[in-house]
Amino acid sequence: MTCEREERARGTIAAPEAPEVPLKIRKKDPRAALPQYESSGAAGMDLRAFADREITIPPLGRAKIPTGIFMEIPQGYEAQLRPRSGLAARCGITLLNTPGTIDSDYRGEVEVILINLGEEPFTVKNGDRIAQIVISPVVRAVITETDNLSETKRGTGGFGSTGV
């Protein structure tokens, strides 16, 4: 470990700052909450429900939860919707399509599809933190059709072929 890495591990040198990307957000209503980072090292911003009534999700049920926000994601980026670990661990609440992708050309309201994998009904109230949103760069593939793929040690082994 280099001296700088040792000092960073001890906390005497600050970790490098994450790059910043501009994100335009329009609120449906002044009462809707903007996403926000809840700690200095958070990768994801918490999203809050913006609903005019409580929404109860029965066990194994799902619901589309509005957030009251619309975004303009810069070209070359996407927003990924991800579960909140506390909701998943304590209540069995996760996102049905994880990660959910919001493309840079989408301008509709951000909605989150929650699923209740818990044993009890789960009620979402206005303002509850329901998901995380991570802004990530996008890499687009250039496809080349071929008759041959390179050989690897793993080959066609999948679904647990490297161990449990």
pLDDT tens profile 36-58? 999 989 999 999 999 999 999 99
Element (H, E) at 58: none
Can you tell me the mean pLDDT for 94-108? Answer: 96
The fold for domain 25-137 equals Deoxyuridine 5'-Triphosphate Nucleotidohydrolase; Chain A (2.70.40)
**Whole-model pTM?**
0.82
Listed by start position, the domains of the chain span: 25-137
Close Cβ partners of 75 (under 8 Å, ≥ 6 residues apart)? 104
